[in-house]
Chain A
Amino acid sequence: GAGVSQSPSNKVTEKGKDVELRCDPISGHTALYWYRQRLGQGLEFLIYFQGNSAPDKSGLPSDRFSAERTGESVSTLTIQRTQQEDSAVYLCASSAEQGTKNIQYFGAGTRLSVL
């Protein structure tokens, strides 16, 4: 597609339920990032996929959070047993380049509200 696509755009769930957030990166982009943005705060790194390398999971806040990526395509971020503090906008970004000179292209995000 022309850009990074995320779905759903909004998700309201009850505390304790599991949610899945989807990201379709730009075709051909080898790198994919997930971030969390709480209201009024910056982007909090969650996880980074680069090609076939093992993902960098160092930003995942707890074992309730996990993410998968199939090859160099779609990624799914799963939050199990959601808590109210998980409410945030979850952003996905993809990048064509390896290493540090990577310009990230962002999706519109999924706004998650945990009641």
Chain B
Amino acid sequence: AQSVSQHNHHVILSEAASLELGCNYSYGGTVNLFWYVQYPGQHLQLLLKYFSGDPLVKGIKGFEAEFIKSKFSFNLRKPSVQWSDTAEYFCAVTPSAGKSTFGDGTTLTVKP
């Protein structure tokens, strides 16, 4: 069965620090990859996605993620975080045949 592992459960950063959240998955076939974000008091929403092509994808609010097929990874990055980035971040994987699997989530707290 496929699984998604997010290495950091809680990350605390100061504003302007760089961010990298790890996501690894276990599935041998073709997958589509997603990062979702849940801001305090809001719904889960799509941050960015990878279907095919350039493995470096850009999402909203300056976030990007890089798909490294050989490492089964899809890490999320942002060069300089803001207080408003405080949220919970979920990595999700959808194989070519099957349903989505979500990671356990990473809570990001950005100190002003």
A 46-76 binary contact with B (CB < 8 Å = 1; else 0): 0010000000100100000000000000000
Choose from B6, B46, B97, B103 the contact partner of A103 (Cβ within 8 Å): B46
Within 8 A of B (CB), among A68-115: 91, 93, 100-109
Tell me which of B12-20, B66-74, B88-96 binds A: B88-96
Interface residue total, chain B, C-beta cutoff 8 A: 27
- Interface residue B101 (Cβ < 8 Å from any Cβ of A): yes
Q: Do B105 and A91 have beta carbons less than 8 Å apart?
A: no
- Let me know if B32 is at the binding interface, CB within 8 A: yes
Interface membership of chain B positions 1-41, coded 1 if the CB is closer than 8 angstroms to chain A and 0 otherwise: 00010100100000000000000000000011010100000
Cβ of B43 and Cβ of A42 under 8 Å apart? Answer: no
Q: Which of A40, A56, A93, A100 contacts B94 (CB 8 A)?
A: A100
Interchain CA distance A16-B36 in the complex, whole Å: 34
CA distance A40 to B96 in the complex (A): 29
Q: Assuming A100-B95, A102-B94, is B46 touching A42 (CB within 8 A)?
A: no
Pair A106/B94 contact, Cβ less than 8 Å: no
> What is the CA–CA distance of A108 and B43 in the complex, to the nearest angstrom?
5
A55: min CB distance to chain B, Å: 11
Q: Could you tell me if B100 and A104 are in contact, using CB atoms closer than 8 angstroms?
A: yes
Q: Assess whether A101 is in contact with B90, with CB atoms less than 8 Å apart.
A: no
Contact check, B43 vs A3: say whether CB atoms are below 8 A apart.
Answer: yes
Residue pair A56, B99 in contact (C-beta under 8 Å): yes
Task: Give the residue of A45, A93, A103 whose beta carbon is less than 8 angstroms from that of B49.
Answer: A103
Residue of A nearest to B44 (CB): A106
> What are 21 A-B pairs with beta-carbon distances under 8 A?
A33-B99, A42-B6, A42-B104, A43-B90, A43-B102, A45-B99, A48-B99, A56-B99, A91-B44, A100-B95, A100-B96, A100-B98, A101-B32, A101-B51, A103-B34, A103-B46, A104-B36, A104-B46, A106-B36, A106-B43, A106-B44
Residues in chain A within 8 A of chain B (CB atoms): 3-4, 33, 35, 40-43, 45, 48, 56, 59, 91, 93, 100-109
